[in-house]
Amino acid sequence: MIEAFSAKFAFAPERRYCLGVEEEVWTVSPRSGLLVSAAPRVFTPGYEARIPGFKPELPAQQIDAVTPVCATLADLRAALAKNDATMKALGKEHGFKVCRDPIPPTPFSIEVFPTERYRRIQEQFGERLRGAYVAGLHVHVGLGNTDEAVAVMNSVRLHLPAFLAISARSPFKEDGVSYRSYRYLKYRQMAGETVPPFLRSWLHLGLVAKEHGFLDDPRMCWWAVRASPHGTVELRVCDVQSDIRRTLGIAALFRMLVRIALEGPDPKEDAPASHIADRLLSAAKGRFDVAGYLKRAVKIASHPMFKEERQYIQKLLG
């Protein structure tokens, strides 16, 4: 079992600490500002060669812009700028505008991009699928092997509330409760559990994957941080950002924490997933000291080993 599960992940020591980013954006009508199903017009046969790095997402009104594997944050900055320009050009060609709101304009209907996998998800989730109609920022950092994946997930799970608080930009009020990241609330409706358990080993992850139904397809794991088949650890808790500067800051902070997990002391805190989930909900409501967290992060980044990350993390304070 575990051998087949492990074979689905492309961990590689030579890509350790490399970076990648996925940005989910909406396609909206230039006139009404409402969602339009532009993805089927954009992703026609042969799109992989025409627009490498771009792919459809589950909503037909969404585009996923994926950077190539980047060795440095400077490379990532250039890749994000190129993707942004490409998205604007696609909008001009296909008659839509790019919208970076984490929650789409309303009213909207659920329209799924017509692939077998997405239709299967639609059948599985039913009305819960509305929780998938959110736009997130996913950050990948490359890892060398399965043991590194376990160590990093155990460490980063503790920081999920901070990443949600730092990235929150989808305010909403529901039943008298104000949220700074309503996207997270909607995502949780679909995903259910968003926090991975403390993992004792890679075998333990395989057993959890079997129990939760993603042993055969790790992409069906909806945790806010997960091991990705790309051979990375993937941060999935963030709202999509409005500008490249903040995206780079989040990516830099994530990579710094990954490096600390692998090169620093072994994480000792076996925090229950339910406790982290409670803190995530508090962060979604704006009850998190973002400025204090970032000041501590900048202090950690003053270490010489984080020279590249430091400048981008500092800009998150701006």
**Of the candidates 140, 313, 135, 150, which has an alpha carbon nearest to the alpha carbon of residue 240?**
135
| Model pLDDT, residue 91 | 97
Strand, helix or coil for residue 142: strand
| Model pLDDT, residue 279 | 97
Q: Is the omega angle on the peptide bond into residue 107 within 30 degrees of 0, that is, cis?
A: yes
What number is the average pLDDT over the span 287-312? 95
Token pair for residue 195?
Answer: 């926090």
| Model pLDDT, residue 9 | 97
| Model pLDDT, residue 129 | 79
Measured CA distances, 84 to 23, 236, 268, 287, 317 (Å): 10, 20, 40, 32, 23
Give the model's confidence band at 195: pLDDT under 50 very low, under 70 low, under 90 confident, else very high. very high
| Angle, alpha carbons 53-110-58 (nearest 5°) | 25
Radius of gyration of the chain (CA): 19
Give the model's confidence band at 266: pLDDT under 50 very low, under 70 low, under 90 confident, else very high. low
Q: What's the pTM value of the predicted model, to 2 decimals?
A: 0.95
Residue 197 CA to residue 274 CA, distance in Å, equals 9
Residue 161 CA to residue 283 CA, distance in Å, equals 6
pLDDT, tens digit (0-9, with 9 covering 90-100), for 150-177: 999 999 999 999 999 999 999 999 899 9
| Model pLDDT, residue 268 | 61
pLDDT, tens digit (0-9, with 9 covering 90-100), for 6-57: 999 999 999 999 999 999 999 999 999 899 999 999 999 999 999 999 999 9
Q: What is the mean pLDDT of the chain?
A: 94
Instruction: For tokens 């920022």, name the residue.
Output: 137
Amino acid 292 reads G
Give the model's confidence band at 246: pLDDT under 50 very low, under 70 low, under 90 confident, else very high. very high
DSSP per-residue string spanning 188-203: HHHHS--SPPPPS-HH
CA 43 to chain centre: 22
What number is the average pLDDT over the span 202-216? 96
Query: What are the strands, taking DSSP E only, across the chain?
Result: 19-28, 54-56, 62-66, 97-99, 136-142, 172-174, 177-179, 225-228, 232-239
Residue 48 CA to residue 191 CA, distance in Å, equals 29
Contact assessment for residue 202 and residue 143, using Cβ atoms and an 8 Å cutoff: no
| Model pLDDT, residue 131 | 74
Residue 267 CA to residue 126 CA, distance in Å, equals 39
Contact assessment for residue 136 and residue 65, using Cβ atoms and an 8 Å cutoff: no
Give the model's confidence band at 281: pLDDT under 50 very low, under 70 low, under 90 confident, else very high. very high
Give the model's confidence band at 122: pLDDT under 50 very low, under 70 low, under 90 confident, else very high. confident
pLDDT, tens digit (0-9, with 9 covering 90-100), for 288-298: 999 999 999 99
Residue 130 CA to residue 150 CA, distance in Å, equals 31
Contact assessment for residue 36 and residue 275, using Cβ atoms and an 8 Å cutoff: no
